[in-house]
């Protein structure tokens, strides 16, 4: 079985605009800014034998604030530029009660079946409680990137980090200590 790092997109791979303490997703390529250290972090993960799979909620599609085509354009740009194996995007909002919208683990579980992933040897990295809860529900270890948003905080995560690169260093240190 394979190991994977599941990553939230906005706030982990690319920056989020924070307004009144809440993060907001970029709407187009002009607003998309890949965070410092992300390219190196993803290469380090790939070289260490991890699949890198983005799991992202994009409820602004259901809310009519952005088109699915715009989100796909951003995702395709990230696929082309970064060491990402796949991107699973949920376009629903909470009232849709779908299984793919974090904090539910449906997208992670679907990816694990598609790629034959051992979830106990995998991690979910995110900057919001929904990411951490989805990873925990799927059976993954979790890393919370803490930007001190003005919202519910996750509990019980494996690690806290300040960036994706910091998170990757923690994960790889763990891996090396076990070998």
Active site residues: 8, 10
Cβ-defined contacts of 119-124 (< 8 Å, 24+): 121/1, 121/3, 122/3, 122/4, 122/5, 122/6, 122/50, 123/4, 123/5, 123/6, 123/158, 123/171, 124/6, 124/7, 124/8, 124/55
Residue 124 sits at φ, ψ, to 5 deg, of -115, 125
Euclidean distance between CA atoms 134 and 142, whole angstroms? 9
Residue 178 sits at φ, ψ, to 5 deg, of -80, -25
3 state DSSP class of 126? strand
């Amino acid at each position: 079985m394979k190991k994977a790092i599941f990553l939230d997109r906005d706030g982990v791979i690319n920056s989020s605009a924070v307004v009144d303490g809440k993060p907001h997703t970029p709407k187009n390529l002009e607003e998309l800014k890949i965070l410092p250290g992300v390219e190196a972090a993803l290469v380090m993960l790939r070289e260490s034998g991890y699949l890198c799979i983005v799991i992202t909620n994009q409820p602004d599609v259901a809310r009519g604030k952005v088109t699915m085509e715009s989100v796909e354009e951003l995702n395709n740009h990230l696929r082309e530029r970064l060491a990402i194996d796949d991107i699973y995007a949920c376009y629903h909002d909470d009232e849709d009660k779908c299984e793919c919208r974090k904090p539910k683990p449906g997208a992670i579980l679907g990816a694990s079946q598609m790629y034959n992933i051992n979830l106990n040897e995998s991690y979910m990295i995110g900057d919001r409680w929904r990411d951490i809860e989805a990873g925990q529900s799927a059976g993954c270890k979790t890393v919370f990137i803490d930007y001190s948003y003005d919202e519910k905080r996750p509990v019980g995560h494996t690690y806290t980090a300040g960036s994706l690169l910091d998170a990757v260093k923690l994960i790889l240190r763990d891996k090396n200590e076990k070998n």
